Every structure is written in structure tokens, then in C-alpha cells.
Structure 1
């Protein structure tokens, strides 16, 4: 911005916005407009609008959705000859994002078999074989048995070449139909050295993942702290209007891990009433044909809200159900 001869006052205002809120701006002479994130305070909005001399776009999502993609999401929206420069710019940004995005298969109802990137392959995340007549509009859910929640092996091997069929069958499925997700925090794991395996390997259970990280990557503590920070970030966004950029997850997790180790090293060992060291408590699986329910809750008195988490495991320690309210 300095090289482009922007004024120092404007740069300071813009950098303040970058550090605290997200925004979008279209510079096109007299057509320049700006859109602010909901977390932006009115004082900051007024400063920036006054410095730039541009109007603010209100009801940004509602305007574009009703006009350009009323019956689908932004991911399926198509270009329009009547679209403004702002709308075409949004689509170009969407296309750049999708080049590196991958669907995580849940129910499969939102994922197009032929058009979306959903395979666990870095080189070929999309189906490369020719579309089979009669299956042009097939969703990934059509390849999953709705009762057993398992892949329809015979159907898959009949539709796809052996190599693609094996890649599809290697994708793990949940025992319950979950919502398909296009991950938004993939960059968090991409920045952790040693976690490149997540795009290439599949694990049948969380226990297998932990065992792999413990023996191969040898960075289990950081993985656990990153998971906690991701969970904490999700709660912060859900229960408050505070901004928590995904780019801050890894630095905050590393700092929290450093603080945790420092405090643990400085604390004396815990003892019982007799002065004997307390034995560490370990989770143990329930007896055969039984289930164990673990739960935890938290209350937020300032917000008048509470949260509850429940996880149910079988005798092998596998998670059979979970709840978050």
C-alpha cells in the first residue's frame, strides 16, 4: 500500500481493521463499496468509510443469495451475465478456494460424485473416470448403504475402475449419518510439521490415529493441544461475538502447551491424606456387552447459557455415540 502511494492515515485505519475484523472491499472508482464483518464496531466502520469516502454494503449475503443462488450454496453458484463486478470477483475467489478444498464424507447427500473433490488423494481428489450414463446427478450418498452405513462395494466396483474403487472404499464412514463438511481449518494442520500424513492415510478409529501419532510423528502433546484449541475456538465463536482467526489456533496451542509444561514442572507431586503419592486416574473400558457414558458440562453465568458434552463407548473403547448441546 505504501508503494501504491496510499496515505499513511488510510493505511493505519486499514491495518487496524485487518487485525481486529474481517472485511471485503471493491475498488472501482465511483462504484467502490465496502462490506464489514458483523463483529466490526460502528466507530471503526465510520472511520474507514469516512477515510475512503465509500458507502457500506448492507445485507450483503441476502442480496447476493436471493439474486444469484437462492436454491443452493455459494459453492454451487454459477456465473450470471447480469452479475456485477463484485459478484464476479466473489466467484473468482470461490474458485481459487475450491482448488485446495476437500469434502469430508458424512451422509454424502451434499457431495456430487463426479464434480466435487472428495477422494483422499493429493494428486486426484476428483473422480477421473467417465460419467456413467444414468448416474450423471449421483451423490456420494447413493454409494452408501443407508442402513448399515457401509459402502455399496459391488456398486462401486461396477461403476469405477479398480484404482478409483479402492480409493473410495478406503474412505472411513461414520456409524451415524453426519453432515458433509468442507474443512475450513485445514491450514492449521498444514502448518504442523509431520502431519502431512493426514491427506494420505485413513484410520478406523481415533485410537488408531493417536497410536500412529505417538509412535511415528511423536508429537502427540501438540496434537492434543491443537484439538483443544480448535474446540475452544468453536465455542468462542458460538457463544460470543469475539473474532478468533484460524491462523491463531496453532500459535495459541503452542503457547498453551508451553505454559502447561512449565506449570506441571513447578508443581509438587499430589499426595493423599497419608502423604502417599496419588495414583494417576486412567479411563478403562466397560465390561463386555456394556457401554460407558462419560459427560462434562460448563456454564456461562455472564451469558446465561450452559453446555453439555456426552460420549458413549463400547467395551473396545470405540465411540458409538456422542452429543453436544
Structure 2
């Protein structure tokens, strides 16, 4: 526990480099390098020795949250959204390796330069980079703690990583209490395995390991029955996205139960508009479709739009992106007094929370900033069945007809859903 407490002090050296404590330690122990490259030095203090002991755990848990990309180095920092190796694997020219991540963005710094990314990096790195959301506010890059949903260091999480202690060491309890989609085959896979008796994986890694096993099994079936070539990176990303989706759908917190109990779409209050947003993910082509539908207080269709974007974000990030794009569009129309509905409880909760450092957190602050510039915006969370029109529009982004924008008259593929919402 003492090391975990010292880890919190080391975390402050990373996240608050201009503080008096950080400046004193840097001048004393690592004047010409960063904390992770620092050595013991001569006549080190007890506190500094403790920080060095916990450094390996900090290195494993720390990730760069890319904001404007100016303070993150392409080839030296852990900034890719993957647990096993967050560093770039492409063999880069030294000038590219030492360049800031901002050099991979478009001229406005609000998105990736897609052609540049695919030209410079191998497929693995390029797809991971395009899976990182970019904030339109261009906040500074920050350190985030990957073992916390909001990216903040906690003594408890560090202590678990240092000791690998779980409250209940019984292997069956560990497996069946994991917060993952239920798979009856888990018992058959692990009940007779000697490794389960002495698990080497921590409480964060074990669910991901089981989902990876499930992904391997599904990839094997796809290879045998569909002739799909196995790609480990695609399999892992698909498994983690599915785990994230399942956790999001089964999240226990219900801060707006009345809204969540609403299974059908309802008209907004008189004088207000309703904006439904959603996202569709296409793993095989590494693309997303975002879409939204705007209706008035009589349920009459006003407008809809969908956009196809590169990359496949985690579900909470993709849902946040759809809200951000919808609000940006709404702001340009000059309309306000709007109820924004999403079917993602995690995003809804984040919109009601304090700011936090992660790609997800940066997107949430984008949304809050846009909402403050539009007259009277309220957010609500509803069941997916009450958000079906937006999902249809998002999914249509992958169709042969492609993306579009519609005003006053709805597109033919949306008519049935709009009628169903009105009749419900």
C-alpha cells in the first residue's frame, strides 16, 4: 500500500509538471530526461526510492490521451489505444519517430490526415491511429491511467496491480463474477485447467483474456466456414469492442430510470425539438456511420443526416462522436430548444460528470462546449427501441446510395420507422 501511495506522488510529477514538487524533483533527479528514464542518482531520498520502485507499474498503466497532439511523440510515447503494446511498431525514419503526433493531423488539427497515416504506418498502427477520436477543441495532451474509466490514478487500482490480490481467490468465483457476456463454454474451457487454480492475470486483464478466447473461437469458425483469413489485431479489437458494448448495455447505474423505462419514442414538450442520435460500426472495413433525426413537438420530420467516417472507436466514443457531430450541425442551422436523446447510458452519465482526461473525456467536453453555444439543450437517455430512427439513418451510411442530408421530406428508408414512432 505504501508503494501505491508513493505512486500517487509519482503520478503528480507526470500530470502536474509545473508544480513546485515536480520542479524540485526534476531538478534534483532527472534534469535532462523524463520521469520514466530517471535513475536513482546520488544520495536519493526514501521517497524517491519508493517512486522508482513503483515506476514499472506506472509505466504499464500510463497512456497518452491525444488532444492537440503537440506534446506526444509518435515513436516514443504510449499513445495507441491497445493494451498489449501501445507503442508504434512501424519502422520509422528518425525524423518521423521524434515528431509530434500533431504532424499526423489535418491542417486544422481537428482530425487525422488519413492519407498520411496510411502512407507512413503499417496496417496495424494505421488502423489503431484512426481509431483515436480527435477533439475539435484541441485540448493539451494529458496522461491518463488505463485502469480507471475516467483516466484518473487511484491508489486502489495501483495496489491491485502491484499485488494482484483479489477479494476471493476461488477460481470459479473469479470466472463467473467477471463482467463479460455470458458464455456457457467458459466452464468447459477452464474448469480442468491447472492455470486457473493459480491465475496469473489481474482483475482487469482476465475479462479481456476470456473475450479474446471467445474471439479466437469465432475467428476459427469464420476461417473454417467462411474462408475468412485470420487477423489477430482485427480479432482482438472486435472482441474488446464487443466487451465494451456489452458492459455499456448492462451498466448497473440508472440515473434517469424514467427515461430508460421508455421503450418507444415520444414527442417533446410543446415548443421544443427532439434530436435523436446514433452510430453504426462496420468492423470489416474499419468504418463508422453516424446519423441523427430532428423532429418537432408534433412528431413531424424536420431533418436527418448521416456521415461515414474512418475508424472504429469504442462504443462510448462513437456514440459521443455522433452527438458531437449532430450538435455541430444543429448549431449551424441556428435552431435551439432541443432535447437530445441517446441510447448510451455511459455517455449520458459522462455528460453529467466532471471533466476527465481521456479521448472519451475530450469528446464529452466537446459536446458540453457545443451545447453551451445552442439555446436550451437537454440530454436524455432512452432505450434503443426509442432511438430506432437514428440507428436506421446511421446504418444507411454504408448503403449503396451512400450518405445524405434531408430536410422536410424524409428519405424512403426512414418513413416506416417515423410512422411507427408516431403510432406508438
Give TM-score, length-normalised by structure 2.
0.35
- Whose helix proportion is higher, 1 or 2? 2
The higher relative CO (CA closer than 8 Å, separation ≥ 6) is in: 2
Give TM-score, length-normalised by structure 1.
0.45
